[in-house]
Structure 1
Amino acid sequence: MATVDIPRQQKAAVKVGTGKDAKAPIHQVDVPSPAPGEILVKINWLVRRPSASIWTGLCASDKSLLHDEWASFGVDMKESAKGIAGHEGAGVVVSVGDDMHHKWKVGDRAGIKWVWSTCGECEFCTNGVDELHCPNQKNSGFTAAGTFQQYALSDGRYTTRIPEGVTDEEAGPIMCGGVTAYTACKRSNVKPGQWIVLPGAGGGLGHFAVQYAKAMGMRIIAVDGGDEKRELCKKLGAEEFIDFTKVQDIASEVMKITTYGAHGVIVTAATKEAYASAPTFLRPGGTVVAVGLPTDPSVIAGAPPIMLALKKLNVVGSVTGTLKDVEEALDFTARGLVHPILTRGDLEDLDKYIDLMIAGKLAGRAVLKVS
């Protein structure tokens, strides 16, 4: 079996402080060893190149955890995460713990996701479709140390195998952003040839949703602001584009395009305005998919009961994806149908890129170079 040299220490972005003032400066931390059932993954991309750089994806959820934005909901980074966020990692296996040699070997390519592990025994794990609700799950960057480090542990039973035809640089963002958009498209129940509205279509999740919706045969109305976003959304497959900086009544514009309204809307923007307007884009029987997670607890996903009843609207939630969903999402990239638009930075600049994300100035999906 192949072996690799593993250093005793590594660099990691470790949370310091609380709330909006929290930062994640670089620290030297010990490289962990895999326990039985675990593997150790070197977070990188294009690992077959000697000059490969090491990358991890940046998600809005990482920003929320580092800044304690969900603390009022009881969701804050646990001590077991050691202050290391990140859950969009892809790289190469460098060490295999006991009980995993039948499944993984050194040199295999592996992806680490938001769901780090599940118990495999509860009702949700055994029904075949719902392990995301396992009450005993662990989460990367939340209850387990995440991917903002050079070497990350992962539960070997729940780690994703990266297929040929997908670089690690692309696979990382698909571990969360890509599979979240893909699963939301499935949850919308929009069929080939039907209309879907994608507010924030040029963003980190939105640009994935455009590509998956296109590949699944949907007709896409992209909503975003500016000529640059228009060009991007059209290039990715949007049939129509509505510029919210120029169009005041987006619902009327949707009706002009679709006659009766769209069949589905995926809300990736975590704002009160986005959730309030989404139902007005729909035809009778249409579906709103809630994906964006507002920090304001007063934001409600829904519509006035009379609208829900008279139009028989559906409001559903969607969060990341199962192990099978991730495999399916990666397959779209392996077949050349979906590719993340990447903004590249350095792990040392994590806080700067979070500020850019907050300001809405981060195009596509960010990947950060670790070394």
Structure 2
Amino acid sequence: MTVPDIPKQQRAAVRHGSGELATTKIETVDVQLPGPGQILVKVNWTGLCGSDKSLLQDDWKGFGISMRPETQGIAGHEGAGTVVAIGEGMHKRWKIGERAGIKWIASTCGDCDYCATGVEEVHCEKQINSGFSAPGTFQEYCVVDGRYTSKIPDGVSDEEAGPIMCGGVTSYVACKRSAVKAGQWLVLPGAGGGLGHLAIQYARAMGIRVIAIDGGDEKRELCQKLGAEVYIDYQKTKSPADIKDQIMKITTSGAHGVIVTAASKAVYEFAPMYLRPGGTVVAVGLPSDPTLLAGAPPIVLALRRLNIVGSITGSTKDVEEALEFTSRGIVHPILSKGKLEDLDAWVKKLKAGQIVGRAVLQVAA
């Protein structure tokens, strides 16, 4: 193993407390060196995902999902940085100085039926997840599985690559899961947010016509700039039914697909009503309320032959494809930049819906 100048200790944002009152504090922790099959990445930038906020504040406790002790209180799963140490068995795959992207799925078993397909490893039951069951990217140095870590191509900066590790690939795969084809209509509630603004770009790159739904003139400007053909400001509508009426007027028979990134009850209730017969709702946003359901009355689903599907993250191949859009200059995350020291303040902004685009935090000093 080649080891350049690597400090024995590092800065990390460590979680304290639980629930909505949980906070993070910058602490000094040990730097771990990679073992067989692993690499050590110096994290330069990390995205801040809504899932990070949900894990830090126990939003999904009702589903039995909480940060595990193995994380050592360090969340984060959208990291981008430089390889500084290589473990046994990884020298053919990685070189010191290469850039690497750290994802939600940090490692998979490689042997189960899902892993064997080469495209379904997201369902591996033995997977390890950054910031959930292993220390995440809210630290300066992160040990990761060298086999599963993504190579960042030229033309993609570290601050852009971080958010693509989760937000980008999630939006890209959701567009594919919607089964909407070029020239057809896709509705994106929450279009001006971290996932939505990326979904607009991937959809447009696929030739899909986009109806963006969000609130305010700032979001309108962003969505239209990114290629949304229509913008509906929910703040200026009388009711969710009014949004449905506008969509029907624009599309004649309804949209071909809806990707729900906004984790709200009203959106999930009405999303199926935006569709034409045979259309698809893609559930992406993850509400904290375990009683909230995605769908429609069975008679509506049956008579209109609607599809309700879920989507979360993507395979290593999906990440490679999502990064390629950026390397080709087609998709670029709109970034709100901060520093790791201000993580709690950015979590509050995220919770309040005050971030346009995607938040990304500088980690390396």
Q: TM-score range by the shorter chain?
A: over 0.9
Large movers: runs of 4+ above 2 Å: 1-4
Amino acid at match of 2:357: G
Paired position in structure 2 for 1:60 = 50
Q: Tell whether 2:267 aligns with 1:274.
A: yes
Q: Tell whether 2:338 aligns with 1:309.
A: no
Amino acid at match of 2:321: E
Question: Once the two structures are superposed, what CA deviation does each residue of 1:72-108 show, in whole Å capped at 9, x if it has no partner?
Answer: 2111111111110000001110000011111111111
Paired position in structure 2 for 1:23 = 23
Compute the displacement of 1:191 (Å). 0.2
Percent identity at matched positions?
66
Paired position in structure 2 for 1:231 = 221
Paired position in structure 2 for 1:215 = 205
Q: Tell whether 2:338 aligns with 1:348.
A: no
Question: Contact conserved, 2:16 with 2:25, CA < 8 A, in 1?
Answer: yes
Matches within 5 A, 1:50-199: 55-199=45-189
Compute the displacement of 1:304 (Å). 0.6
- Distance across 2 between alignment mates of 1:4 and 1:169: 24
Question: Once the two structures are superposed, what CA deviation does each residue of 1:151-195 show, in whole Å capped at 9, x if it has no partner?
Answer: 011100100011111111100000000000000000000000000
Local SS of the residue matching 1:110: strand
Paired position in structure 1 for 2:42 = 42
- Distance across 2 between alignment mates of 1:345 and 1:93: 23
Amino acid at match of 2:171: A
Compute the displacement of 1:129 (Å). 2.1
Compute the displacement of 1:3 (Å). 5.5
Amino acid at match of 1:22: A
- Distance across 1 between alignment mates of 2:148 and 2:93: 11
Question: Once the two structures are superposed, what CA deviation does each residue of 1:290-319 show, in whole Å capped at 9, x if it has no partner?
Answer: 000000011101001111011100000000
Paired position in structure 1 for 2:277 = 284
Amino acid at match of 1:10: Q
Amino acid at match of 2:199: A
- Distance across 2 between alignment mates of 1:20 and 1:246: 31
Question: Contact conserved, 1:166 with 1:333, CA < 8 A, in 2?
Answer: yes
Count of residues in Structure 1 that have an aligned counterpart in Structure 2: 361
- Distance across 1 between alignment mates of 2:89 and 2:216: 53
> What is the TM-score with the length of structure 2 in the denominator?
0.98
Local SS of the residue matching 2:270: helix
> What is the TM-score with the length of structure 1 in the denominator?
0.96
Please list every run of 5 or more consecutive structure 1 residues that lacks an aligned counterpart in the other structure: 45-54
Amino acid at match of 2:268: Y
Please list every run of 5 or more consecutive structure 2 residues that lacks an aligned counterpart in the other structure: none
Question: Contact conserved, 2:152 with 2:161, CA < 8 A, in 1?
Answer: yes
- Distance across 2 between alignment mates of 1:70 and 1:219: 34
